Amino acid sequence: MPARADDGRRAGLSDPQLIKALAHPMRTRILGLLDERIASPRQLSRELDAPVQNVSYHVRELAKLGLIKLVRTTSRRGAIEHHYTAVAAPRVSDEAWSELPLIARDRMTGAWLSETFKHVNDAAAGGGFVADDTHLSRTQLVLDDKGRKALAKELEATIQRVHRIHEQARERLGSNPEAEQRMTLVMLRFDNAAVPKDEKTAKPKRRRSTPRSRRRQAPGSTSRPRG
């Protein structure tokens, strides 16, 4: 889900029906596009390459869920255009996630990753990774059940500290908005793709020897190309 909202709040989602309503890939993408910006369904439809009627429907559903809000209306060619922004970054509880069917989890994950990687690629193309304090890391882990739980607890504590840093910075920026520096933090912890057992145990194939390769050189001799 979007990493941050304009007011810095996160909406904890625990109602499985609410989460299922949010599981539609387009709604997840709309939330990502409306994070820290204002746009109308017409503008969103161009970016999503989707019919404006479909986008308008999903925008209204997100507004009903309280995840976006109407900011203003404008007149355009005799019609009223509505402009929205995200009001809270949804955070699905572990309990609610465990109750979701796998297909809903796959949809939410796929849409979130698609929007996140697009955001990362856009930042890379625009110089977002040139700062001296940019962080890029990947760590391969081998854990047991106890380690897995400990890691989950540590990541939750880390994200809580990150949000406290964010809130403290917002308070300071209230009197000095010119010092604002926008950035994104992405955290991912996932299980590696399973490796088939036959690939784990398969021995490397031995190269078949040829009469020429079986010939041994005399000790101390070197081979030369024929000229």
Given a cut of 80, is residue 80 above it in pLDDT?
yes
**Predicted confidence band at 110 (pLDDT cuts at 50, 70, 90)?**
confident
How many H-runs (helices) and E-runs (strands) does the chain carry?
Answer: 9, 4
Given a cut of 60, is residue 227 above it in pLDDT?
no
> What's the confidence (pLDDT) of residue 124?
95
Q: How far apart are CA 177 and CA 190, in angstroms?
A: 37
Average pLDDT over residues 93-120: 81
Average pLDDT over residues 36-65: 91
Sign of the alpha-carbon torsion through 73, 76, 79, 82: negative
- Please give the structure tokens belonging to residue 222: 């070197």
**Predicted confidence band at 101 (pLDDT cuts at 50, 70, 90)?**
confident
Question: How much is the mean pLDDT over the chain?
Answer: 79
> What's the confidence (pLDDT) of residue 29?
83
Given a cut of 70, is residue 177 above it in pLDDT?
yes
Residue ranges of E strands in the chain: 10-13, 68-76, 79-86, 89-92
How do strand 89-92 and strand 10-13 relate by DSSP bridges? parallel
> What's the confidence (pLDDT) of residue 181?
93
